[in-house]
Chain A
């Protein structure tokens, strides 16, 4: 599968409190939460993000809380992929479990700039910055996680192994 979108760029240690502030967590409605996604780090995000857009960030993206509302609100906002140098552990798990595509690629995270058009081929892990022409290669997922992603998330995957 291949996707293409414009980039929203952030730094290191983007935590789940800025991705979706807890003051909004009195609802499990991810569509409603998407309207507040990234609000405390980028107030313009929710109103300017378009379906297919990509988040690019530095180290330890999604650190902090276990709230699945963080990757789920990013997904519900229309984001097609998050590329980061590294991901915090629970965010990484949650993203795979709910089917939000994520890629670890420190070189891409460093070089890609805000507003660049970027395409991602999930089958090969190839990331292309269409604005600058630079090409990057993301870390491939271990086979188990590829199966999890292919199944479309944890619930579907568990059925395949039982």
Chain B
């Protein structure tokens, strides 16, 4: 029996010739990631692993991004804990607010820290983002992070897989976000629980790297352990451009086993919106449009990249945000922020009545920088619409692409970008 792409990466990292779904393995890690919420807990657990030093100071990435710039005194203390640990342990990849920082899952690919074939864990559920680069990467908790930092290893149950065959080409206003929301709507929030989502098919060539990051990022919202894309020319070019290490290209065996196969035709997709309070509650824009909103957020590890800001700017340019809407735009990294400045996007946003923030996860998880009051509704490009996620438990979150979010900001209600740009 053959192996999936994920299984091949795991086998190599466990120094085994083959692994099978369900098998428990101890794997060597290429990178261990933490943020300002999960790292302080890991720092507390670290001494229990009886090591004075981390396993490799170059293979740990610490990113203060959730409640930064520090939102309150306690958040500042958590960042200080993380910063002190980074200094004591001489961590190479500690990122500082304003200098080289950003939202972790936009930042790490941008800095070339992850390459194809890597095995990565991160104490953040959206660590699965790097599957876009042909890496195995998955979210874990703080104790796992501490163990990873101390020993360079962790345990995994080898996942079974769902094969997602992507065909066709995207219509004008359709993006990776629409594909992944559509997929989660099809299989549910636990449809890929414990499994890997392995994307394949000719249509992948029609997905940009940013589309793929968005799709892999939300694999967790279907319960998946990871989402992974084949390494093609676009991926290799991205890795080269960002100075990543030499890639190790793994491909699924022809006789690899899949629990199920799903085909998605990009040309049949419509802009898609996930209604409260689960990412699986999806509707097409045609069913969703017309719902009055109070806030829009464009940003996050899911959709805060330059192409996300570009399409939002294209829609917003020369128009005004509806008077009753607060539109918050958050470039995901310092580099993206600067590029958006140079390209004039930030001016476009500001002139239209948007507020542009420094990079932060802030509102996505109800931290700060755009909390919702009771009864308020937001269209956001983030990844979760659980009860109370962005504020009051009686607020509502509608997940959508940057194009739908931008169009909705202009119209003041959930809107089809096609109609706003007519």
Which B residues, 142 to 190, have Cβ-Cβ distances below 8 Å to chain A? 142-144, 146-147, 150-151, 155, 189-190
With contacts A13-B190, A66-B38, A153-B143 taken as known, whether A28 is within 8 angstroms of B386 at the C-beta atoms is no
Q: In whole angstroms, how far apart are the Cα atoms of A40 and B393 in the complex?
A: 6
Which of A26, A66, A72, A162 is close to B124, meaning CB atoms less than 8 Å apart?
Answer: A66
Q: In whole angstroms, how far apart are the Cα atoms of A30 and B393 in the complex?
A: 22
A69–B387 touching, CB < 8 Å = no
Residues in A with CB closer than 8 Å to B81 are: 28
Q: In whole angstroms, how far apart are the Cα atoms of A33 and B387 in the complex?
A: 18
A22–B365 touching, CB < 8 Å = yes
A117 on interface, CB distance cutoff 8 Å: no
B143–A98 touching, CB < 8 Å = yes
Q: In whole angstroms, how far apart are the Cα atoms of A156 and B45 in the complex?
A: 11
Residues in B with CB closer than 8 Å to A94 are: 140-141, 143-144
A147–chain B nearest beta-carbon distance, Å: 10
Q: In whole angstroms, how far apart are the Cα atoms of A125 and B386 in the complex?
A: 32
Interface-side segment among B56-64, B69-77, B240-248: B69-77
Of chain B, the residue at the smallest CB distance from A144 is: B24
A106–chain B nearest beta-carbon distance, Å: 13
Residues in B with CB closer than 8 Å to A69 are: 37, 41
A154–B143 touching, CB < 8 Å = yes
A111 on interface, CB distance cutoff 8 Å: no
A21 on interface, CB distance cutoff 8 Å: yes
A124 on interface, CB distance cutoff 8 Å: no
B408 on interface, CB distance cutoff 8 Å: no
B38–A68 touching, CB < 8 Å = yes
Q: Type the 1/0 row for B72-101, where 1 means its CB is closer than 8 Å to any CB of A.
A: 101100100100000000000000000000
Of chain B, the residue at the smallest CB distance from A72 is: B41
A145–chain B nearest beta-carbon distance, Å: 8
A90–B140 touching, CB < 8 Å = yes
Residues in A with CB closer than 8 Å to B74 are: 26-27
B196–chain A nearest beta-carbon distance, Å: 11
B125–A23 touching, CB < 8 Å = no
A41 on interface, CB distance cutoff 8 Å: yes
Residues in B with CB closer than 8 Å to A28 are: 40-41, 44, 78, 81
B228–chain A nearest beta-carbon distance, Å: 16
Interface-side segment among A45-53, A56-64, A75-83, A131-139: A56-64
With contacts A13-B189, A68-B41 taken as known, whether A26 is within 8 angstroms of B365 at the C-beta atoms is no
Residues in A with CB closer than 8 Å to B140 are: 66, 90, 93-94
A44 on interface, CB distance cutoff 8 Å: no
A17–B388 touching, CB < 8 Å = yes
With contacts A27-B78, A41-B387, A89-B223 taken as known, whether A65 is within 8 angstroms of B41 at the C-beta atoms is no
| Residues on B facing A (Cβ under 8 Å) | 24, 26, 37-38, 40-41, 44-45, 48-50, 66-67, 71-72, 74-75, 78, 81, 122-125, 127, 139-144, 146-147, 150-151, 155, 189-190, 193-194, 223, 225, 278, 365-367, 384, 386-389, 393
Q: Which 8 A-B pairs have the closest CB atoms?
A: A68-B141, A155-B48, A26-B74, A94-B141, A60-B190, A22-B365, A40-B388, A97-B143
| Residues on A facing B (Cβ under 8 Å) | 13, 15, 17-18, 21-23, 25-28, 40-41, 59-60, 63-69, 71-72, 86, 88-90, 93-94, 97-98, 142, 144-145, 153-156, 158-159, 161-162
